[in-house]
Amino acid sequence: MNELDIIKIISKNLSYSTGVEKGIGDDCAVFKFENQHLVVTTDMMFKSTHFPKILTPFQIGMRVVTANVSDIAAMCAKPLGMVISMGFDNPDKKFIEEMSKGINFISKEYECPIAGGDTNKAPELTLCGTAFGITDNPVYRGGTIGEDICITGDVGKVNCALKLLEMKDKGILGNTKFEKIISEFPIMQKLAEPKARVKEGLLLNKSITSCCDISDGLSKDLNYTGNFEINSKKLLNSVSKEVVEFCEKYDMDLVNTVLNSGEEFELLFTTADFKKAEEKLKGVNSVTRIGKVVESGKTVDGKSMESEGYVHKW
C-alpha cells in the first residue's frame, strides 16, 4: 500500500464534516468564520526518511517548521502559529537545544510563533507539526482550461543535492571530493535550509486561481492543476546554471531532474493574468510560466508524462 491508498480508505469513512469548508485533498483544511478562513495543516517527519544525514540539529528544527508553513503559503494565507509534537528515542540535551533554536529562528522569519506541542518516547526522532493560518480568500488546487501554469523561484537543486549525497553514501565520492563539488556547485543550501514562500503567497492572493507548493516534485504536484501541457524550454528558464552544469557533469537528464525534484517548497500556481502575477512578485522572487492547463492529457513537449514524484510506500 502507499499513502494514497491509505488516505482513500480513511477518507471514505470520515463522513462527518460539519463546519469544514475544505477537507482532505488540499494543502490545508479550511474552516470559515464570518469573513475569515482558518487554514490548518499537519506534517509528520521521521529521522530515517525526512532528514538527510548532512542536516544539523538547527536545520532539522528549521525544516519541520518550513514544511508546515509552506502549506499555509500554498493557500496564500498568513501564518498564525504552530504546535509541534516530538518523539525521541534517546534524548540528547545538546541536540534538543540546537533543534529548538532552529525552530525559533525560522518561526520568527515566518512570523509564526510556536505555541506548544507534546513530547513522547519514539523508536526514532519523530517531529509532527500542525500549523494554522488565516485568510479572507483561500486559494485551492485546480486550474481552469486555458490558464497559465507558473512556478516561483528556481527548481532542481534539491534533486541534485540528493544525488550528490547518494554518491557520497555509496563511496563514489570521498569527503575531500564531496566538499570540492559542494564549493563548485552551490546546490546544497536549498536541501539543507529550504524556505516557505509566505510573502509570495500573500502577494499573489487574488491574482491567481489555484496554488500548491512543490513538495513531492513537479511530476506529481502538476496533477493538482488539472490536465496540463508543459513546455520544457520554458520550464528550464526556472533552472539555475549550477543545476544545468551539475546535470551535464554527472550525465543526469536535466528535464527529468527538474520534474522530480521534491521539497523545493516553491509555489506552483495557475493564473489568467501572468503579467499581473509577475508584477506582484517583482523584487521578491522570480516567476516562470511553464505551460498551460488543457482540456485533456498530461504532457511535456507533447509526450505523455508519468507521475513519478514522491509517494510514501509500505
Write down the domain spans for the chain.
3-135, 148-304
Cα 96 from Cα 98, distance rounded (Å): 6
Please tell me the predicted confidence (pLDDT) of residue 185.
86
Cα 258 from Cα 268, distance rounded (Å): 13
Q: Is 41 annotated as a binding residue?
A: yes
Q: Is 229 annotated as a binding residue?
A: no
Q: Is 154 annotated as a binding residue?
A: no
Question: pLDDT (tens digit, 9 = 90+) per residue, 12-30?
Answer: 999 888 889 899 988 999 9
Q: Is 140 annotated as a binding residue?
A: no
> What's the start-to-end Cα distance of the chain, in Å?
6
Candidates 139, 147, 156; CA nearest to 73 is 139
Cα 258 from Cα 8, distance rounded (Å): 29
Q: Is 207 annotated as a binding residue?
A: no
For 83, list phi and psi in degrees, rounded to 5: -120, 145
Domains 3-135 and 148-304 share a fold: no
Q: Is 213 annotated as a binding residue?
A: yes
Please tell me the predicted confidence (pLDDT) of residue 313.
58
Q: Tell me which residues of the chain have a pLDDT lower than 70.
A: 307-314
Q: Is 27 annotated as a binding residue?
A: yes
Please tell me the predicted confidence (pLDDT) of residue 15.
84
| 3-135 is classed CATH 3.30.1330.10 | yes
**What CATH architecture applies to the domain 148-304?**
Alpha-Beta Complex (3.90)
Q: Which residue has the cell 550525465?
A: 251
